[in-house]
Amino acid sequence: MTSVLTLEDVHVRYGGSHVLQGVSFEVPDTGVTALLGRNGVGKTTTLKAVLGLAPRTGTIRVRDREVQGERTHRIVAGGVGYVPEDREVFGGLTVDENLRLVDQASGVDAPIVGELFPDLVARRHQRAGTLSGGQQQMVSLARVLLRDNDLLLVDEPTKGLAPKLVTEVADVLARVATTTPILLVEQNLPLVRRIADTVVVLDAGTVVHRGDAAALVEDPELTTELLGVSMRAKGAA
């Protein structure tokens, strides 16, 4: 297996709180790898550690490049795209203006936007702050996809979305993952089963399980033990 991302013995401390306590795993360079775990175990912190947004020690490699000591802007410029949990669109700017912050020449006219997000093209003049949560998620995803990425880090993209929009976001991620590997933090197990190939489960600051996504999600005893939930308790993707 070729890896796009490797973490070895990564630690993150916030003051006296030792959040990541030697996290090690690899992300294959194809498909979706889901990073799972109960609330507060350090999933977002793991993404932030990769991006240099959390104080970390250990080894972090993107392809063959050690990024542990690098600043965030260099890591992003080096090909790591990040879609944060809170979406962070500029509410006072239009959809097109949000996208032109990344691609000044094309904005919403970039081919990938027309291909994956036709609704955004139709809403090009609408202020992003007046879009629904799902539409804002699409702006956030589109903005990252305007760059060439070796790897995407996507944090709970379906949180708070209605089921139809969850399906739309999942469809986009599945299409994107055919060309760019994704490390996805996601609580929706049916969605994980549908689009993820591999899962990594965190608990108490370390990796407690790695393996095939379908095998985990379809095992109610294991999901209950590792995540405190099973498919039966969750809606469909």
Ligand X SMILES: Nc1ncnc2c1ncn2[C@@H]1O[C@H](COP(=O)(O)OP(=O)(O)OP(=O)(O)O)[C@@H](O)[C@H]1O
Which residues contribute to the site for ligand X (CB under 6 A)? 14, 17, 19, 37, 39-45
Phi-psi region of 94 (alpha: psi -120 to 50; beta: other; left: phi over 0): beta
| CA of residue 52 relative to chain centroid, distance | 15
Please state the closest distance from residue 54 (CB atom) to ligand X, in A.
7
Q: Find out whether 33 and 196 touch, Cβ atoms under 8 Å.
A: yes
Choose between 49 and 95: whose C-beta lies nearer to ligand X. Answer: 49
Residue type, position 96, single letter: D
Choose between 43 and 123: whose C-beta lies nearer to ligand X. Answer: 43
Please state the closest distance from residue 205 (CB atom) to ligand X, in A.
9
Please state the closest distance from residue 177 (CB atom) to ligand X, in A.
21
Handedness of CA 185, 187, 192, 197 (dihedral sign): positive
Choose between 40 and 111: whose C-beta lies nearer to ligand X. Answer: 40
Residue type, position 56, single letter: R
CA 83 to CA 137: how far, in whole Å?
9
Choose between 42 and 157: whose C-beta lies nearer to ligand X. Answer: 42
Choose between 120 and 216: whose C-beta lies nearer to ligand X. Answer: 216
Provide the 8-state DSSP code for 146: T
Q: Find out whether 182 and 34 touch, Cβ atoms under 8 Å.
A: no
For tokens 């379906």, name the residue: 158
Q: What is the largest CA-CA distance in the chain?
A: 52
Please state the closest distance from residue 234 (CB atom) to ligand X, in A.
14
| CA of residue 235 relative to chain centroid, distance | 20
Please state the closest distance from residue 47 (CB atom) to ligand X, in A.
8
Structure token digits, residue 106 = 């094309």
Please state the closest distance from residue 228 (CB atom) to ligand X, in A.
11
Choose between 43 and 193: whose C-beta lies nearer to ligand X. Answer: 43
